[in-house]
Amino acid sequence: MEWLYNAPRNLFFTGKGGVGKTTTATATAIALAGNGADVLLVSTDPASNLDEVLGVHLTNAPCAIAAVPHLFAMNIDPEAAAAAYRERIVGPYRGILPEAALVSIEEQLSGACTVEIAAFDEFTKLIGNRELSGRFAHIVFDTAPTGHTLRLLELPAAWSDFLANNAGGTSCLGPLSGLGAQKELYQGTRAALADPAQTLVVVVARPEVATLDEAARAAAELAALDITHQMLVINGIFRCQHGSDAVARALSQRAAAALASVPAALRDLPRVELPLSSRPLLGIDALRGFFTTTDEEPDELAMPLFAYNTAPFGTFDCLIGELAQAGSGVIMTMGKGGVGKTTLAARIALALASAGHSVHLTTTDPAAHIAAAAGDVLPSNLHVSRIDPKVEKAAYIAEVMATTGATLDEAGRALLEEEMRSPCAEEIAVFRAFARTVAHGTDAFVVIDTAPTGHTLLLLDAAEAYHRQVSRSMGDIPPEIKALLPRLRDPEFTKIVVVTLPEATPVHEASALQDDLKRAGIAPWGWVVNQSFTPLPITNTVLHRRKEQEGRYLDEVLALTEKPFLIAWG
C-alpha cells in the first residue's frame, strides 16, 4: 500500500453509490492517522453515514475519535452551514436596517441555492484556508455519489468564473451578495484541486459494469476540470474457483467479465483491488485491517443451516399488481446510492407498459443511465427521458429573459443576465423540470428514478424555497409548480417506493429517509429489499455468511413498513 505512505494533503473518495466510498475513505483515514500525524475525515454527503461507520455522533466541527489517536472527523451539514451562512450575512445589519429589510434579506437567503453555497463555503475553507485547517496533515473527503460530487468539485471553477465576470457585483438572488469576498478563497481551492502534489482523487468502484462506467465518467469529467491526479480502487471482488454453488459461479463470472472490460479512462490509473468480505465492515476494529486482511474460509459449507421465512414479503409481481391498480400517477424509487433504484424503476416501467399502461420513465439523478437500464427495444407506450441540467438551464434562461427580462430596461436586463449565469440558476431549472414531470402523472404512469438520498432530500426540501425563487424570477408561478407539493403529499397520486439492500447502512439510511419524508408530509408507500441472497440456495462460504447477516436487516424492514417486497440477487 505504497500510496498510503505518499498520500498528498487532500484525498477525495468518489464513485457510484454503494461502492464502499465511506468504508474505503474511513479505512484510509485510520491508516494515515496511524503514521502519527493529525488527519481530518470529512463527509460532504447530505446523507452521511460516517457516524454509523465510526460509531460516533459527528457534527459540523472536527471531533477527536477516541479509539484512533490523531484522527478527527466531521460532517458538513448543509442545513447547519446555511443557518450559519445566513447569520454571517444578516447579523451585521441587525439594529441598523429596519426589521422589514432584514426579513426581506432572510427571505432571499432561505432558498436551496443558499444551502448549496453554504456547504460549498465550508468545503472551500477546509481546502483553501490554512488558518482553519492547517493543523491537519491530511484531509480525507468522503463524498456523496458521483453526480453530487462532480457538482461540488466543479463549483470552485464555476463560481470563480462567475465572480470574475460579474460586472454588476450583485444579484437579486441574495446569496450571491456574500460571495464577493470569497473570490480569492475559491481561486485557491481551484488551484489546490488541480495540483497533484496537494490533491488525489480516489475513484471507487465495484467489479460491475455500471459502477466502472460511472467511475470512468467521473475520471474523465474530473480530468476536464484539470483534476488529474487519480487512482482506482475496486472493492468487493469475488472469485469462486471451485464448488457447485450456481449463484457463486454466476457472481464470480460477472465480476471477471467486468474486470476484463474496464473502460479506457480507467485502465492507466494506479489500481488497488480488494476482495469481497464475508463480514460487515462497520466499526473501527473491522476497518483497521481493511487493506490487508483476506477471508480464509473453505469454498463451501458442508451443511448450510441458515433459513429465513420470507412469507411476509411480496414478490416483484405482487409489487406491479398493486401499483397498477391506480391506473395512473407518479411512482418514485428512492434510497441510498447503489441499491438498484435505476434498475428497479426501469423494471417497474417496463412491467406497467407490458400490461398496457402508458408510462413515462425518467430520472432526477445526474449520474443515472436510465435508458441503458430500460434496454434498447422499448414498447411504443413507454417513453424514456432524462432531466438534463444543462438543457433545462438554457431553457429556463431563455424563458426568464423573454418574460421578466422583457419588462426591464437595458441595465436591468444586464443584471438579470448576470444572475442567470450563476450556478444557482441550474438548480432552479432542474426543479422546474421535476415539477413538469410530476404533472404528467395526471393521465399516465410516471416512474421517476431519483438521485441518491441526500440529493433527493435537498430537491424535496427545496420545493417551497424554489417556489419563492421562481416567483421572484418569473412573476407568475407555473401551475405545475403550484401543484407540486400537494401532488407529492397525495398518497393516491404519488407512491414512494423505498429501495434498500439487506445491509446495515442502506436500511438505516432508508429509515432516516422515511422519517424525513414523513416530516415533509410525504408518506412512503412501500419498501423493496433488493439483491437479496436470502431466497436463494447458497452453499459458498463467503456468500452464505453474507446471507446469514441479512436476517436482522429483513426484520428491521418488516418493522418499518406494511408493504415489504423482496427481490432475489440476479
DSSP 346-372: HHHHHHHHHTT--EEEEE--TT--HHH
Please give the order of strands across the beta sheet that includes 10-14. Answer: 63-64, 71-75, 39-43, 138-142, 10-14, 199-205, 230-237, 271-275
Record the cell numbers describing residue 204, joined without a space: 471507487
**Given this model, what pLDDT does residue 321 score?**
97
Q: How far apart are the first and last CA of the chain?
A: 34
Beta bridge pairs of residue 494: 330
Q: Count the neighbouring beta carbons within 10 Å of the beta carbon of residue 238.
A: 19
Least confident segment among 51-60, 67-76, 145-154, 471-480: 145-154
Q: Supply the pLDDT for residue 304.
A: 63
Closest Cα partner for 128 from 156, 101, 109?
156
pLDDT at 171: 45
pLDDT tens-digit map of 16-25: 888 988 999 9
For residue 563, the model assigns a pLDDT of 97
Burial tier of 242 (Cβ tally within 10 Å: 0-12, 13-18, 19+): exposed
**455 CB-near residues (< 8 Å, 6+ apart):** 46, 144, 145, 147, 148, 364, 365
Contact 567, 528 (CB under 8 A): yes
More confident residue, 70 or 411: 70
How many other β-carbons are positioned within 10 Å of the β-carbon of residue 61? 9
pLDDT of the residue at 174: 45
Is the confidence at residue 168, as pLDDT, over 60? Answer: no
Round to whole Å and give the CA distance between 44 and 22: 11
- Among the residue ranges 73-82, 91-100, 467-476, the one predicted with the least confidence is 467-476
DSSP state of 296: -
pLDDT at 5: 82
Q: Which of 126-135, 269-278, 358-367 shows the highest mean pLDDT? A: 269-278
User: What average pLDDT score do residues 306-317 get?
Assistant: 92
Q: What is the pLDDT of residues 97-115, one digit of tens each?
A: 777 767 766 666 665 566 6
- Would the pLDDT of 175 be above 50? no
pLDDT at 2: 76
Identify the helix (H) or strand (E) that includes residue 101: helix 99-108
The torsion of the CA quartet 14, 18, 23, 26, rounded to 10 degrees, works out to 40
Round to whole Å and give the CA distance between 204 and 553: 25
- Per residue in 233-246, pLDDT (tens digit) is 999 999 887 778 89
pLDDT tens-digit series, residues 33-59? 998 999 999 988 777 788 888 888 898
> What would the pLDDT profile of 393-439 be if each residue is shown by its tens digit?
888 889 888 888 888 888 888 878 877 776 667 777 888 888 899 99
Query: How far apart are alpha carbons 146 and 86 in whole angstroms?
Result: 28
182 or 487, which is more confident: 487
* Distance (Å, whole) CA 97 – CA 120: 28
pLDDT reading at 166 higher than 90: no
Distance CA 147, CA 149 (A): 5
- Smallest CA-to-CA distance from 441 within 493, 384, 485, 488 is with 493
Predicted confidence band of residue 173 (pLDDT cuts 50, 70, 90): very low
Q: Please enumerate in sequence order all residues whose Cβ is within 8 A of that of 333, keeping only pairs 6 or more positions apart, or say none.
A: 341, 342, 344, 345, 348, 447, 448, 449, 450, 497, 499, 528
Poorest-pLDDT segment among 206-220, 419-433, 476-490: 419-433
Q: How sure is the predictor about 85, in pLDDT bands with cuts at 50, 70 and 90?
A: confident
Residue 68 contacts residue 37 (beta carbons within 8 Å): no
Lowest mean pLDDT of 83-97, 276-290, 307-321, name the range. 83-97
| Higher per-residue confidence, 88 vs 181 | 88
Q: Cell numbers at residue 521, please?
A: 408530509
* Rounded Cα distance, 435 and 364, in Å: 11
Q: Which of residues 149 and 271 earns the better pLDDT score?
A: 271
